Structure 1
């Protein structure tokens, strides 16, 4: 905004005539390269890189110039506040222990956060149209990304007296977490990631074919996707701790910048690229959701074999009751009517 006003005023004051020519990016043109360098702002130090200096007070078209910490804001105040709040909540989310072990600073730079959030919420929450399937997929996506699925790893944390181990009950080899659910090899000797990789490629090809139609070069498209997914069969979960995004991160719900770039190179524009990624990730999550439901059916059978009943699980989740009043002179307690007072007799009030 500020740059536009500054350019307009310079043109008006000098009375120059401007001719615009389209120049391909990074084409080796001297001034185009200079403009590219000036336009780039570092993520880690956005106010330390070379920037175009504008005397904003000399601009006579603007009545009010928004500023923050001595810097002129090149956006409206509303946009700036939204960006600030969005970044604040994203950083709070990233600093959770369950997130920070696999998404740290360097990896976060390689993630397309806008597309990632859109794949979690494919439709607006404010939409008047709702369905149980949509809600189920949304809930599954959020729990998968935040490691809140009721896997054995989490069940063991939440109710250790009932679930005494976090090891997968089917393969008996690894901890069953939100990734192992989809990579467990208990049913077959083949690496499950091979099947997931094939499904992922198949979905993307189908969505790109719907966009390209007559211009589709299937062999070239398959070759590019095979190169991009060449290491998608690696199943070691320690890969998630490194800077480079792996297929396990995509399973968790992350959309890497590299995938967005690849899609744009194939389709030629951002609009179609984003549409393909949103649709592809949506269908891929539906596939994962179906695998999750199949796993849940198996766990129910396993729980019955372990004599784990529904009422036992509910008891394990029950919290300590809230007491309305506590008398410091006697151990007699006044509690809610649905609680058994006998279990509290003899308990010192200082421990309550």
Structure 2
């Protein structure tokens, strides 16, 4: 499932890889329980022999202690040359300049991607070695470690649920096994895939004689989903059988989380248990244990509150299984990665489960607690809080429409390049830096943020588009008088460079003072952190404006700016508080230093043209409809500012012309705290979404499903 280098043709001679085409590779080393990195030097592929490769050994440099990143997966993966270690292969014949060379089977190698020099130059903080002496890999060390370990297991045949059953079945007395197990019908009703149902039914038959069972369950979630397969996997193993224990794994999709994977592991373990069994489940997820007890109590109190629990379809199924099989279940917390043999087996099974080609899904139309279920796009069941879930989906859709607007092409590119931190930027757009919630100044601050971020400041090109009879195509920049004044040109104009530069030096000094008074660590290098960051370095060195600096001018919080704070502040809560206050100061400073200086020139020019403020507010009164129509038709279409045509930005949130036919209606309906009593709204549902009653052949229940 991982990318492997191609095997060279069989040849009696050693294939030496040219220096320019040497590839970066890694491999899992079982006796070290870790991976090794290297640059591929040569490969031997002799007849009747397993191909063997040699690589120059590079080692992972851990900078997590001094890094601005707090989690291992977000720490840059930096490699430096190994100066010699016990893994060195002394009998290598070839280029002997590398000080450490490792011999590895060619089939065990996995290709890596090293980032270009520019990415290394932008890295902050940078390791204390020259640029040419270290390499920066695309993904984190834990990501490659997991990928190599999974590949190691897959190559040894542990990649399929077909292998979950033991070679020697546990000792059992078949006379105690009933002819028809209650599990059979239960598994058939719950799981829609035939192969998964058959596998679980076989396990249920094997476990039928055992009343007391202990399981170790685990879930795996890979947020990057860098490997082929699914982002979630689950697995479990029995731990109290004599001869050999049974293991099982599978994959999951939709609304990925580690807790959901853990919950599915518990569900599939319980469904194979014998009737009236006494079950102990060991899990390393306290969240799963808490949700188990919470859902157990809530479903008898209020269906509405039960349906607000995350993964409520899985918890409905779990309690349905426990009740149907009359099980006595006890969940115990076990510490993760504590050296427990069975917990490690469950962990391996969960990671392997992500590679299963068919994800496990639950048929929920017969579950007593699922009185209503929303199906998004007739495919994805919403087993979370309806209000929050639909809100999240619609917000993503609106954000996608927002970024796909032709006028915001530059913002979309910055988003693709991971320059913008949207989580903090969204908080900044809603931040009130004034003491009064109804302050007029706050209204002006919010208007400034919206106009800057959507590139709709009233520059001459926009004024000419909206008031052509007043501006009359006089759109040359007020500073340089050579280019059309647009929102993009405003910040890129060479005549504004010194003004913008002095503003950034001033903002940099403010940030230095702010961090010195609040820093939790590395207080001696605060000035260097700021003066050498991409956001401010260009201003202190009089270089061209860096693209990240433009984001600050447009009222966005960049990942680089966040990195400065994370280098010196420990908690994210404290960072958010400081960065919001700092952005408020920067916004006011930019507006006063740059925009107001531009407005002074505009007022002088406006007076020279004989135009007043009332000329804009009374535009429709001064010019007749025919005049305005003729001006609009005669105005040439200008292709500029990354637009297909000069149409400007229109806020998609304010377009309610087709409101009744829009699926946002569903969100408003179910966002209401009393939506179950909103009977008058249901007369409109046939125009918004389809309402189907689904009745199973074997179920007396009649439940509603809404296809969103």
Q: What TM-score does the superposition give when structure 2 sets the normalisation length?
A: 0.36
Show the 5 A alignment for 1:61-72.
63-64=369-370, 68=376, 70-71=379-380
Show the 5 A alignment for 1:235-274.
245-274=547-576
1:183–1:309: structure 2 CA closer, same or farther, 3 Å change rule?
same
Corresponding residue of 1:165: 474
Q: Is 2:195 the partner of 1:195?
A: no
Tell which has more relative contact order, 1 or 2 (C-alpha 8 A, sep 6+).
1
- Bigger CA drift: 63-72 or 224-233? 63-72
Q: Is the 8 A contact 1:2 1:56 kept in 2?
A: no
Query: Greater CA radius of gyration, 1 or 2?
Result: 2
Structure 1 residues 43-83: Cα deviation after superposition (integer angstroms, max 9, x where no partner) = xxxxxx9899666569xx99448764544656422221111
CA distance in structure 2 between the partners assigned to 1:66 and 1:314 by the alignment: 48
Corresponding residue of 1:350: none
1:139–1:157: structure 2 CA closer, same or farther, 3 Å change rule?
same
Q: Is 2:516 the partner of 1:209?
A: yes
The structure 2 residue matched to 1:143, chosen from 451, 462, 466, is: 451
Structure 1 residues 191-237: Cα deviation after superposition (integer angstroms, max 9, x where no partner) = 3332132133223333333432xx4644411212222233466657x
If each structure's strand is expressed as a fraction of its own residues, which one has the higher value?
2
Corresponding residue of 1:225: 530
CA distance in structure 1 between the partners assigned to 2:352 and 2:467 by the alignment: 55
Corresponding residue of 1:87: 396
1:287–1:22: structure 2 CA closer, same or farther, 3 Å change rule?
farther
Structure 1 residues 231-263: Cα deviation after superposition (integer angstroms, max 9, x where no partner) = 466657xx8xxxxx5211221122223433442
Question: Which secondary structure does the structure 1 equivalent of 2:335 belong to?
Answer: coil
CA distance in structure 2 between the partners assigned to 1:37 and 1:234 by the alignment: 50
Q: Is the 8 A contact 1:111 1:256 kept in 2?
A: yes
Q: How many residues in Structure 1 have an aligned counterpart in Structure 2? A: 294
1:56–1:62: structure 2 CA closer, same or farther, 3 Å change rule?
farther
Q: Is the 8 A contact 1:193 1:235 kept in 2?
A: no
1:251–1:234: structure 2 CA closer, same or farther, 3 Å change rule?
farther
1:85–1:222: structure 2 CA closer, same or farther, 3 Å change rule?
same
Corresponding residue of 1:287: 589
CA distance in structure 2 between the partners assigned to 1:158 and 1:206 by the alignment: 43
Structure 1 residues 174-196: Cα deviation after superposition (integer angstroms, max 9, x where no partner) = 33233544565548xx6333213
CA distance in structure 2 between the partners assigned to 1:220 and 1:34 by the alignment: 45
Alpha-carbon shift at residue 140 of structure 1 (Å): 1.1
Corresponding residue of 1:154: 462
Structure 1 residues 11-40: Cα deviation after superposition (integer angstroms, max 9, x where no partner) = 9944435443699xxxxx9x999999999x
CA distance in structure 2 between the partners assigned to 1:37 and 1:119 by the alignment: 41
Q: Is the 8 A contact 1:115 1:255 kept in 2?
A: yes
Alpha-carbon shift at residue 115 of structure 1 (Å): 1.6
Corresponding residue of 2:327: none
1:66–1:156: structure 2 CA closer, same or farther, 3 Å change rule?
closer
CA distance in structure 2 between the partners assigned to 1:152 and 1:306 by the alignment: 14
1:183–1:50: structure 2 CA closer, same or farther, 3 Å change rule?
farther
Q: Where does the alignment leave 5 or more consecutive residues of structure 1 unmatched? A: 24-28, 40-48, 240-244, 323-352
Q: Where does the alignment leave 5 or more consecutive residues of structure 2 unmatched? A: 1-258, 271-277, 283-331, 339-343, 627-708
Q: Is the 8 A contact 1:267 1:273 kept in 2?
A: yes
Corresponding residue of 2:606: 303
CA distance in structure 1 between the partners assigned to 2:352 and 2:417 by the alignment: 23
Show the 5 A alignment for 1:87-126.
87-104=396-413, 107=416, 109-123=418-432
Question: Which secondary structure does the structure 1 equivalent of 2:567 belong to?
Answer: helix
Structure 1 residues 272-312: Cα deviation after superposition (integer angstroms, max 9, x where no partner) = 22222222211111112213234323321222123333444
CA distance in structure 2 between the partners assigned to 1:234 and 1:186 by the alignment: 15
Q: Is the 8 A contact 2:422 2:557 kept in 1?
A: yes
CA distance in structure 1 between the partners assigned to 2:581 and 2:387 by the alignment: 30
Q: Is the 8 A contact 1:184 1:192 kept in 2?
A: no
Q: Is the 8 A contact 1:158 1:317 kept in 2?
A: no
1:268–1:172: structure 2 CA closer, same or farther, 3 Å change rule?
same
CA distance in structure 1 between the partners assigned to 2:350 and 2:414 by the alignment: 28
Show the 5 A alignment for 1:7-26.
13-16=279-282, 18-20=333-335
CA distance in structure 2 between the partners assigned to 1:50 and 1:282 by the alignment: 49
Question: Which secondary structure does the structure 1 equivalent of 2:412 belong to?
Answer: coil
RMSD of aligned C-alpha atoms? 4.3
1:93–1:20: structure 2 CA closer, same or farther, 3 Å change rule?
same
